[in-house]
């Protein structure tokens, strides 16, 4: 039997559509922030997609590039979230309202009740928006030829800072 004190108390999964752009960025940023807060022994972070077409693939090269440019590291292989995951998860942070609705259906089908949030609902400047408001979506940068990946990183960093700031209170419950 594993030592209870060394087991993670919270398992957090970031979810987007294909698990090659937004959710890997969120995974890297959250891991970085959790480590900086001294919580990596108590919180495990991973990511997944709602779709299956990128299973086993690396993150998009632009994901790796924007993360490396900003001092983050990521080892990644795309996975798909299923209802079977729900009994193992505590918190699911989704990137947009479509992902939210897809994961909400998985949660409902599973019989388990992990907490489900749009990641940007943790951005203090967006706290006044209702759940599933389009303003809370992290746009998919996959087809964005401009600076979509940089914008996604910035959005996720703001939300991750506030999310991680609230983790000690959750862990002490």
Q: Has 22 been annotated as catalytic?
A: yes
**What's the predicted TM-score (pTM) here?**
0.93
**Please, which residues bridge with residue 172 across strands?**
none
In a domain, 117, yes or no: yes
Quick: pLDDT tens for 86-113. 999 999 999 999 999 999 999 999 999 9
The answer on pLDDT for 4 being more than 50 is no
In a domain, 61, yes or no: yes
pLDDT-derived band at 2 (thresholds 50, 70, 90) equals: very low
Q: Which domain holds residue 44?
A: 4-166
In a domain, 171, yes or no: no
In a domain, 173, yes or no: no
Q: Has 16 been annotated as catalytic?
A: yes
Count Cβ atoms below 10 Å from residue 95 Cβ, excluding itself: 30
The answer on pLDDT for 85 being more than 90 is yes
Provide the number of structural domains found in the chain.
1
Q: Which of 46, 123, 137, 140 is catalytic?
A: 140
In a domain, 65, yes or no: yes
As a whole number, mean pLDDT of residues 22-35 equals 98
**Please, which residues bridge with residue 116 across strands?**
92
- Beginning with the edge strand found earlier in the chain, give each strand of the sheet holding 115-118 in spatial order: 43-49, 10-16, 91-94, 115-118
pLDDT-derived band at 3 (thresholds 50, 70, 90) equals: very low
Mean pLDDT check: name the lowest of 3-12, 39-48, 130-139.
3-12
- For residue 46, the model assigns a pLDDT of 97
Q: Which of 21, 22, 96, 137 is catalytic?
A: 22
Q: Which of 16, 32, 79, 120 is catalytic?
A: 16
Task: Provide the mean pLDDT of the chain.
Answer: 92
- For residue 7, the model assigns a pLDDT of 55
Tell me the C-alpha distance between 55 and 86, whole Å: 19
- For residue 9, the model assigns a pLDDT of 85
């Amino acid at each position: 039997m594993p030592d209870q004190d060394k087991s993670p108390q919270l398992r957090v999964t970031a979810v987007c559509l294909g698990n090659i752009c937004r959710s890997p960025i969120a995974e890297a940023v959250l891991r970085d922030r959790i480590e900086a807060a001294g919580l990596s022994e108590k919180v495990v972070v991973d990511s997944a997609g709602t779709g299956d077409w990128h299973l086993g693939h690396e993150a998009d090269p632009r994901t790796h590039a924007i993360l490396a440019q900003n001092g983050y590291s990521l080892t990644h292989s795309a996975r798909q979230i299923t209802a079977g995951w729900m009994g193992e998860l505590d918190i699911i942070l989704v990137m947009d309202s479509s992902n939210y609705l897809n994961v909400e259906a998985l949660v409902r089908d599973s019989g388990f009740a992990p907490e489900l949030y749009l990641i940007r609902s943790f951005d203090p400047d967006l706290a006044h928006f209702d759940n599933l408001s389009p303003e809370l979506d992290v746009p998919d940068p996959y087809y964005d030829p401009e600076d979509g990946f940089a914008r996604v990183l910035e959005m996720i960093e703001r939300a991750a800072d506030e999310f991680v700031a609230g983790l000690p209170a959750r862990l002490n419950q």
